[in-house]
Amino acid sequence: MNLTRTVAVRLLVFVASLFAASIAIFLVVNALPGDVATAILGFGADPASIAELRARLGLDRPLLDRYFSWAGGMLTGNLGRSYLTNESVSALVAPRIGVTAWLVVVSMLIAPVVALPLGMLAAMKRRTWQGAAASTASQIGLSIPAFYAGILLVVVFAVTLRWLPANGYTDLVDATGRWRPVPFIQHLVLPVLSLVIVQSSVLTRYVRSAFIEVLSEDYFRTARAVGWTRWRALWRHGVRNAAISVVTVIGLQLATLLVGAIVVEQVFRIPGLGTALLSAVANRDLIVVQGIVMVLVFAVLVINLLTDLSYLLIDPRLRGRDAR
């Protein structure tokens, strides 16, 4: 009973946040000083052309009107049409979502796999050199900008060793329908690695402190009294208990991961949402900017929602008073 209520509240907050975010995005793009039409045509253009462009792009309609037609359009998947090419924004965005998604999802999956054992090591052996080394490595890893890690990786693996390409992207399935896993993976290794280096460093720190807490808990001592060695006791009983704080961080980090991906796409010239966003900014194609930012924010809010809901799965205490 309580469970349904909790879920319902979360969903409501999600929808409200989505709404609020869309308003914020729209206002920043459209309500701040600076005329789009002038920017597109250049400052030397004559007023008549500017006025004509404004009318054609619908920029002379009242703000509220424009917001509702944009927001309403979004509900049907229509993000408007590019100011420059008149192409549907959704058509522009759709194929790129997959590309960015590959980058983000793979990084998100690999980072915890690296961070968990590293964090456990850092916690268990924190008074020895192994723990200190793990801790230091993570400290350095999160001080590096992801794009710098990317550039360094390019210098090592692409320039010096020539094992991997320095930039570019190949679809997993090319235009003729043929599967091309090897070049696909080759092009993704370094970008994903740059993101993973930073993400796993951040996660390691949280995993470490979560496990240090577990080490001091009574139930850890009970587990050892049952006969588990330290490592196995930590694994069997620590992981679930540490999971909550770690999952929180993963959720919070997603926004950071997304922006990291945007920059990394630039470093490696990967045709994802990031590069599309940045070229739209350069071209003052504001409707595209609006659309892509909305998509990104939507993704972040969805992940936050899922993270919230996953707590209910992990921690039985949060499920409400149904247990007694």
Partner 1 sequence: MRRAGLWIGIVLVALVILAALVSLVWTPYDPLQVQPTQTLQPAGWPHLLGTDGFGIDILSRLLIGARTTVFVGVVAVSLAALGGVPLGVLAGMRGGWVSEIVLRVSDILYAFPALLLAILLAAAVGASTLTAMAAIGIASIPAFARVARAATLIVMTQDYILAARASGTSRWTISVRHVLPNIAAVLGVQASVSFGIAILAEAALSYLGLATPPPTPTWGRMLHDAQTYIFTSPIQALWPGLAIALSVLGLNLLGDGLRDHLDPRLREAA
Partner 2 sequence: MSPLLEVTDLRIAFGRSRREVAHGISFSLEPGERLGLIGESGSGKTVTALAVMGLLAENAYVSGSIRLAGRELVGLRDSELAPLRGDLMSMVFQEPMTALDPTMPVGRQVAEVLLLHQHLGHGVARGRVIEILAEVGLEDPARVADAYPHALSGGQRQRVVVAMALINRPDLVICDEPTTALDVTVQATVLNLLDAALDAVGASCLFISHDLAVVSQLCERVLVMLDGDIVEQGTMAQVFNAPNHPYTRGLVATARLDAVTPGERLPTVEDFYARQARR
Among 140, 173, 226, 318, binds partner 1 (CB under 8 A): 140
266 binding partner 1? (CB under 8 A): yes
What is the rounded CA–CA span in Å between residue 299 and residue 47? 40
Q: Pick from 33, 47, 77, 227 the residue near partner 1 by CB under 8 A.
A: 33
Strand runs (DSSP E) across the chain, as ranges? none
- Residue 220's contacts (CB-CB under 8 Å, 6 or more residues apart) are 214, 233, 234, 237, 238
Contact of 2 with 320, CB cutoff 8 Å: yes
Could you say which of 95, 117, 145, 181 contacts partner 1 (CB under 8 A)?
Answer: 145
For 36, phi then psi, to 5°, come to -65, -45
Distance separating alpha carbons of residues 317 and 110, to the nearest angstrom: 29
- Site residues for partner 1, 174-213, by CB under 8 A, read none
- Choose among partner 1, partner 2, none what residue 192 binds, the Cβ cut-off being 5 to 8 Å by kind: none
Could you say whether residue 12 binds partner 1 (CB under 8 A)? no
- Residues in touch with partner 2 (CB under 8 A): 127, 217-219, 221-230, 236-237, 240-241, 314-317, 323-324
The alpha-helical segments, DSSP class H, found in 216-282 are: 218-226, 230-233, 239-268, 273-282
179: which strand partners?
173
With CB cut-offs between 5 and 8 Å by kind, which of partner 1, partner 2, none does residue 219 bind? partner 2
Residues at the interface with partner 1 (CB under 8 A): 13, 16-17, 20-21, 24-25, 28-30, 32-34, 39, 139-140, 142-145, 147-148, 151-152, 154-155, 159-160, 166, 252, 255-256, 258-259, 262-263, 266-267, 277-278, 280-281, 284, 286, 289, 293, 296-297, 300-301, 304
